[in-house]
Each structure stands twice: as structure tokens, then as C-alpha cells.
């Protein structure tokens, strides 16, 4: 079994495939000011097995397209959507996030938890913007430095894993440079890493190694994950995920009314933020 298949096997039974939490998904929803009864079109990009997709489907009246390039994860999501009774509003799309098939201005909200790094934050926010309606929202979590100075071993690890890692002010600047209006940012708490992601993963290690006969490839994956966990535990004051909420500006006032209504957001929302 190749490395990707092993990673799928390790992660597909997890609730989340990256740091996050249901309370933080809901907090981002509130920070974005999304009206829960509006008939929104949402894409959840890099959805994994759908922790955020399925929560959004339960909290909103929206139609959600859950996108991931791994059909194994989407199969799990489809089964869970059926079991939760939201399958009529959730559809899955096996596709890469750099080849999304959405029409221009088709989406009210782009959601992406712990996934935009796969094409890079700057590229993702730039390329996905055209899919948003004027006034539409981007909600994305991204690994972020919490401090301006970091211990060398942490810096070296993340510089080699993801050179685009940066402080929140730099991420917000990227959003601004690409024409978004940042609405807010918050840091995912430690619980999202440990209880939401690392501890459940560690609990799966023994069975995973057993299933794969303790092969060198399986052991290498466990060792790499363990190293990342140890680094996080040692240096969690310096790194986390940030949740970023930003809006694609609405068209100027004389043509804005229709676009705002089409986006499904109430006047109150715009009055608060304009
Ligand atoms: C860290 S996981 C996060 C999953 C989920 N959003 C969550 O928070 O549990 C990243 C996800 O991005 C997906 N992914 C990686 N590269 C991708 C690509 N090029 N296009 C689409 N999805 C991709 C992976 O399959 C994985 O499900």
C-alpha cells in the first residue's frame, strides 16, 4: 500500500482530519454574520469526511457542495449525510481544489477548514474569489504563527512543511491585497488540536500498525505524526490555526441591491459592516 493509501486508512475513520472543533465552526459562522435561514449556496473545500460540512448542513438551510480530492473521504461523508437526514442539501464533489468547476459568482460562502494550505493560502484566496457572489464570504482556517519569534526547531519544521506559514497580520494583508474585506480572525484553542485531532489519532495508531503488519511505511507515518504532535505540545504558545473570515466586496451602491439580495444576506448584516 502506498503512502497516500496508508494516510487515508489512518484518517478516514476520524471525525476530523485536521485541527478544529464544532464550537469553532459555529463561532466562525456567527463571526461571518451568516443568516441561518437564508437559502445559501456554500462550498466546503477540502472537506475531508465532512465534520464542518455536516455541522453547517444542520445549522443552516443552505445547500452545500462538499469538495475533496479523496473519494474515500467523500463516501464516508455521503453515508453520514444520509444518516443525519441532510443528504438532500449536501452533495459531494471529488475534485482538486485547484480545478474547481463552479461558475463565476455562483457561491454565497466558501468554507475551508485546515485545507487551503494544499494549494497555499495566497493562491487559494486569489483563485477562489471569482466563485463568490459580490458580498459573498470566505471562511478559512490556516496554520498561523502566534508570535513574531519562534523556537528554531519549530520554525525549521514548519518552514519545510509549509513555507507560507506566517503571522495573522500577514494573512490578513494577503486577504486585503486580493481585494477581500477582512471581517474577523480568531485562534483555534489547544482543545482543537489535542481533543479534536491529535488524541483521537494517537488512539488509532495501534490498530493502524496492526492492520499493516507494522510495515516500515506504516511506522514511518506514525513517527512523523508523533513528531508533529511532540513539536506542537512543546511549542503550542507559538503556533495554531487561525480562522479567517473575509468578504468579497459588494458592488457599489447603485448596483448593489440586487447582488445583496441574491447573496441571501439580510440588510442588517450589511448595515453592520458597511
Ligand atoms: C487537514 S485535512 C482537513 C479536512 C477537513 N476540512 C477537516 O477539517 O476535518 C485536508 C483535506 O484536504 C484534502 N485535500 C488535499 N489536497 C487537496 C486538493 N488538491 N484538492 C482537494 N482536496 C484536497 C485532503 O484530502 C483532506 O481531506
pLDDT in tens, the chain (274 residues): 899 999 999 999 999 999 999 999 999 999 999 999 999 999 999 999 999 999 999 999 999 999 999 999 999 999 999 999 999 999 999 999 999 999 999 999 999 999 999 999 999 999 999 999 999 999 999 999 999 999 999 999 999 999 999 999 999 999 999 999 999 999 999 999 999 999 999 999 999 999 999 999 999 999 999 999 999 999 999 999 999 999 999 987 765 444 444 444 433 333 333 3
Ranges assigned E (strand) in the chain: 41-45, 63-68, 90-94, 107-112, 132-145, 166-167, 181-187, 239-247
Q: Which residues pair with 167 in a beta bridge?
A: 145
Ligand 1 pocket mutation pick from 70, 115, 119 by most atoms within 8 angstroms of CB: 115
CA of 47 to the centre of ligand 1 (A): 6
Angle between helices 71-84 and 51-59 (to 10 degrees): 30
DSSP for 188-213, please give it. Answer: PPHHHHIIIIIHHHHHHHHHHHHHTT
Q: Which atom of ligand 1 is nearest to the CA of 17?
A: 9
Pairwise CA distance, residues 228 & 226, whole Å = 5
Pairwise CA distance, residues 232 & 32, whole Å = 28
Amino acid at each position: 500500500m502506498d503512502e497516500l493509501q496508508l494516510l487515508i486508512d489512518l484518517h478516514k475513520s476520524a471525525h476530523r482530519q485536521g485541527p478544529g472543533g464544532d464550537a469553532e465552526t459555529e463561532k466562525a459562522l456567527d463571526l461571518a454574520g451568516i443568516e441561518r435561514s437564508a437559502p445559501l449556496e456554500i462550498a466546503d473545500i477540502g472537506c475531508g469526511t465532512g465534520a464542518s460540512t455536516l455541522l453547517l448542513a444542520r445549522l443552516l438551510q443552505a445547500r452545500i457542495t462538499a469538495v475533496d480530492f479523496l473519494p474515500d473521504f467523500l463516501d464516508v461523508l455521503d453515508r453520514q449525510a444520509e444518516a443525519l437526514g441532510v443528504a438532500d442539501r449536501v452533495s459531494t464533489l471529488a475534485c482538486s481544489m485547484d480545478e474547481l468547476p463552479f461558475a463565476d459568482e455562483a457561491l454565497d460562502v466558501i468554507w475551508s477548514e485546515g485545507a487551503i494550505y494544499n494549494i497555499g493560502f495566497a493562491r487559494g484566496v486569489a483563485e477562489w474569489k471569482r466563485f463568490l457572489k459580490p458580498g459573498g464570504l470566505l471562511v478559512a482556517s490556516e496554520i498561523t504563527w502566534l508570535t513574531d519569534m519562534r523556537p528554531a526547531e519549530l520554525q525549521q519544521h514548519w518552514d519545510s512543511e509549509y513555507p507560507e506559514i506566517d503571522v495573522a497580520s500577514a494573512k490578513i494583508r494577503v486577504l486585503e491585497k486580493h481585494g477581500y474585506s477582512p471581517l474577523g480572525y480568531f485562534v483555534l484553542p489547544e482543545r482543537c488540536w489535542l481533543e479534536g485531532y491529535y488524541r483521537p489519532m494517537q488512539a488509532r495508531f495501534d490498530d493502524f500498525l496492526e492492520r499493516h503488519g507494522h510495515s516500515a511505511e506504516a511506522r514511518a507515518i506514525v513517527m512523523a505524526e508523533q513528531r508533529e504532535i511532540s513539536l506542537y505540545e512543546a511549542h503550542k504558545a507559538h503556533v495554531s490555526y487561525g480562522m479567517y473570515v473575509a468578504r468579497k466586496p459588494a458592488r457599489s451602491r447603485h448596483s448593489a441591491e440586487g447582488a445583496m439580495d441574491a447573496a441571501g444576506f439580510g440588510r442588517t448584516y450589511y448595515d453592520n459592516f458597511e
